[in-house]
Structure 1
Amino acid sequence: MQLMDLKNEGIDIKKNIPLSRFTFTETGGPAEFLAFPKNINELKKLVEVTTDQTIPLTVIGNASNLIIRDGGIEGLVVILTQMKEITADIKNHYIIADAGARIIDTSEAACQAGLTGLEFAAGIPGSVGGAVFMNAGAYGGETQTTVHSVDVITRNGDIKTYTHDEMKFSYRHSLVQENGDIVIRATFALKPGDKLAIKNKMEYFNGLRRAKQPLEYPSCGSVFKRPQGHYVGPMIIKAGLQGKRIGGAEDSKKHAGFIVNVGGATATDYLNLIHLIQNEIKAQFDVDLETEVRIIGKEKD
């Protein structure tokens, strides 16, 4: 079976679509093929066809902490945002969420079920799959603290489940970054709590986010990992780089750890500014800044 034959089975597949339509930076080149599976069965078919035909396969979620280079991505790009079911198992204190569900919505579902533990994620714009993949965190919380198990599909089309310990979580890292498995669902183990207290905590965190982060501009969120013993934003400010602009990409005047699209930015603008900041921080402080944002795709010809 050919990839485009799957359209006849009701799978939404498109050709040569700009990925800037889907990234939070509003940048990125085209996908050679782009698919939006609605369920695990459709995803499984896409994985199996690309494996059979040796077509490169790239899976992304909400594209909130992602830079796609201006040359785009060869092969098939799968966006999981239509796989977004969230259910509550109140008896066992679980929230079960599909990979394409927003982690914000998952946090809200936990609140409505009177379950505490996901308040830190109330403002994280990524998907559940992305949060698990990156071990996303904010305000002292991390995804790993709540994950009970993760369902994945391997690149051979097999479905398996990892326990929390098997996921090898660490700072902004998980097992699926190493083995290429695709997160399809996560089960979060939470604790009973007071709905009002949970809601108040979520609103408090979102208030901090609005006050400190440049939410008025497109961005990929926090760009750099926090180096041990240092804070990224203050180093960038001390280096005189806050407000630095290359093309339409600017180091945020509101939060120096963010790079925002102030108008017409390209992925190349973003990457050039990232490299400039990395080089200056290394020169001035002898600190190697690693990117937290995921960078994929090819350079533009």
Structure 2
Amino acid sequence: MTEYQINRLREYGELVLNPSFKELTTIRIGGQAKALFYPQSILSLQAMVRFCKQEKLPYFVIGNGSNLLVSDEPYPGIIIKLNRDINEVYLINETRFEVHAGTSLIALCHKVRKLGFSGLEWAAGIPGCIGGATFMNAGAYNRSMSDLITEVCVLRNDEIVWLNVADCDFNYRHSIFKEHRDWIIVAIRIKLEKGDPLAIETLMQDRQQRRLAAQPLQSPSFGSTFRNPPSFFAWQLIDEIGLRGFQLGGAQVSEKHTNFLINSAQASFMDMYGLITRIQEEVKQQHQLDLLLEVEIFNWPQET
């Protein structure tokens, strides 16, 4: 980037040069980018994106970096993170909240619990931010974000617009935003129910304890790696093909939960990508099932 571009971008927020995706993803894998940008506000983000388009500067929005595998190749563009300043939560009527995309999902769970609202207990302990959770329609315990969302606010074609939930094509780990990568989710509106704060806290603690008991939270991972095929559990399919604990370079199938792939020894992108494809190929061969990724792969030409 030129000095002019750097100075202009700093008018819209904080700019960090030469960041590494290893520091920005929960799997701790990835190469360097040209810059990391934290917009000051939604309007600053809008102006920044317009400038990047004018200057032909590529950009990529990430949340908390879970469910993301980035190649070790340099990325010749700007990473945008919304969690610094686009993270407000507003109660807009008796049961509806407006939540900015950079808000931590865990923080939102605790905020609404304190206010006595039920509906997000299933999400207690899930890392990630609201924008990313909406993008992939995150879920657990037979619940998902789309059960709560009423509207989604996006930056689309340089304009900020609200979409009704019916227009977002939500289904299992999918949304319309996966088909429109140039749209940026900036906020959502959700509807919750009033509940008993003690009962809400008890259920949240139960969900958190289950995750602690079942998931390798002490190791760098994506979270869940594969979607569950209809009528099957991905972890069980991986276990049945004998890959529990299997290691390829620094990438490993967790001994604790086989749908968690962990970075056990400074894994490279190719270590992890190779492990993913090995699992997919063996499940296909032995079970005639396609294991689809929950994980997004970025800056890798084969995935474009």
Provide Cα deviations, 1:162-188, integer angstroms capped at 9, x if missing partner.
111111111111111112310111111
Find the counterpart in structure 1 of residue 169 from structure 2: 168
Q: Does 1:36 align with 2:27?
A: no
Larger deviation: 82-91 or 275-284?
82-91
Q: Which residue in 2 is equivalent to 1:129?
A: 131
Counterpart Cα distance in 2 of 1:8 and 1:59: 17
Percent identity, aligned pairs only, is: 34
Q: Distance in 2 between matches of 1:200 and 1:110?
A: 14
Q: Which residue of 1 aligns with 2:27?
A: 25
Aligned AA for 1:255? H
How far the C-alpha of 1:92 sits from its partner, in A, is 2.3
1:83 positional shift: 3.1
Q: Which residue of 1 aligns with 2:61?
A: 59
Quote the residue 2:228 is aligned against: 226
Scaled by the length of structure 1, what TM-score is found? 0.94
In 2, Cα distance between the equivalents of 1:85 and 1:182? Answer: 15
Residues 175-224 of structure 1, C-alpha deviations (whole Å, 9 max, x = no match): 11112310111111111111111111111111110010010101001000
Q: Which residue of 2 aligns with 1:201?
A: 203
For 1:280, the equivalent position in structure 2 comes to 282
Number of equivalences: 299
Matches within 5 A, 1:1-301: 3-9=5-11, 11-89=13-91, 91-154=93-156, 156-179=157-180, 180-298=182-300
Displacement of 1:248 in angstroms is 1.3
Q: How large is the Cα RMSD of the aligned pairs? A: 1.8
- Secondary structure of the corresponding residue to residue 76 of structure 1: strand
Q: Gapped runs of 5+ residues in structure 1? A: none
Alpha-carbon separation, structure 2, partners of 1:53 and 1:8: 15
- Deviation by residue 1:46-77 (Cα, 9 ceiling, x = unmatched): 21011112222211111111111111422222
Partner deviation per Cα, 1:131-189 (whole Å, 9 max, x = no partner): 000000012210000011111111x3210001111111111111111123101111111
Deviations, residues 31-50 of structure 1 (Å, cap 9, x unaligned): 12221112112211221011
State TM-score, norm by structure 2.
0.94
Large movers: runs of 4+ above 6 Å = none
C-alpha deviation, 1:234, in angstroms: 1.2
Matched-pair contact (CA < 8 Å) for 1:13–1:35: yes
**Unaligned regions of 5+ residues in structure 2, if any?**
none
Paired AA for residue 282 in structure 1: K
- Aligned residues of 2:12 and 2:48 also touching (Cα < 8 A): no
Q: Single out whichever of 48-57 and 166-175 deviates more from structure 2.
A: 48-57
Q: Are residues 88 and 53 of structure 1, via their aligned partners in 2, closer, same or farther at CA, if it must alter by over 3 Å?
A: closer
